[in-house]
Structure 1
Amino acid sequence: MERELLLECQRNDRNAQRKVYEQMAGKLYSVCKRYLKRDEDIEEAMADTFYKIFTKIDQLHQPEIFEAWARKIAVNECLQKLRTAKHLHISFEENHVSNSDMGTEDISFEKDILSLLNFLPEGCRAIFNLFAIEGYPHKEIATMLSISEGTSKSQLNFARKKLQELLVNQNI
């Protein structure tokens, strides 16, 4: 992200904010979609994310880390949404998914994998995203979600096994 564009955002320039939104909306939408299922929740998390970005942008002192900073805000907003909606429950139960439940769209491998995340329980999906995609360590995940490190590790293991089963069932 250009330093000058971010400086203009710090001065509350609406045109600069619109440009930042246009450049970042797709990336942040993808982040939110990995954590949340419902479109309304994703839209709300996106709105809250951009509100925080534009109201706290003066706290960003290194423009070169803007995208990582914005992604972290989006992740935190999604986790907050899951916590407040009480959707974040840790589950060890088996969710059996038939091939007919998943659809037969011919989409790329990456999209196939990401769409399979929707078949994981919210808690597993959040932990899988935080660890495997965002790169957070188990200790930090445990703190963020108010769970033990052991629970984080076991839920990641459960998520991996379920994803492997789903991949085998879909022949991906």
Structure 2
Amino acid sequence: MITDERTLVERCLAGDRRAQEVFYRRFAPAGLAICRRYASDRDEVMALLNGGMMKVFSKLDQFRWEGSLEGWVKRLVFNAAIDQFRKHKKRPTMEIVDWDRPTDDTATHSLYAEDLCKLIDLLPETSKEVFWLFAVEGYNHAEIAGRLNFSEGNSRWHLNKARQILREKLQTNPFKSNRYAG
């Protein structure tokens, strides 16, 4: 088993099929987590992942070791997924499906997370996309603006709009008190 990332990349670039398999198995889970956020079924998720990983392998010689390899892979998989949606002129669904959720410690935690997901789903598409990228995926406004082809100010506006809508929804009667606090 190859543990050193530089050696793994060098062997992949040399055409070593076993090294390419090790690379795929090591980094596909990170890409899969991204693809699951933007597709509604497993077939579509796998198509996005495989397309993204093909892009990774085709550009592997361009990685400059200036950041983490996993972060670079995730960025390429994300960009490949967005390219697919642009190509087919549709927006990502950003649906959270049951098989994508981690196992929760308690049923109440699951219910609370489910309520939050339902509220996020009520957001306008672009605001929901920006909110998800910022709050869940951890992208900054410059990265979001670059990926969605608009200004950082527009990204900030959509994030603030999403927060405002969520705050208003949480102020409604069913959410005024934490019903799961015991």
TM-score (norm 2): 0.66
Equivalent residue for 2:10?
7
Distance 1:159 1:38, change over 3 A: farther
Larger displacement relative to structure 2 (4-13 or 153-162): 153-162
Equivalent residue for 1:23?
26
Deviation of the 1:18 alpha carbon: 0.8
Tell me the C-alpha RMSD between the 2 structures: 3.7
Cα distance in 2, alignment partners of residues 122 and 37 from structure 1: 15
Cα distance in 2, alignment partners of residues 147 and 27 from structure 1: 26
Q: Is residue 65 of structure 1 aligned with residue 60 of structure 2? A: no
Query: Which amino acid in structure 1 is aligned with residue 63 of structure 2?
Result: L
* Alignment gaps of 5+ in structure 2: 93-97
Structure showing greater Rg: 2
Q: Is the 8 A contact 2:51 2:80 kept in 1?
A: yes
Distance 1:153 1:61, change over 3 A: closer
Query: Which amino acid in structure 1 is aligned with residue 11 of structure 2?
Result: E
TM-score (norm 1): 0.69
Relative contact order, higher structure (CA 8 A, sep 6+): 1
Q: Is the 8 A contact 1:35 1:125 kept in 2?
A: no
Q: Number of residues paired by the alignment?
A: 157
Larger displacement relative to structure 2 (62-71 or 126-135): 126-135
Cα distance in 2, alignment partners of residues 66 and 6 from structure 1: 10
| Identity within the alignment, % | 30
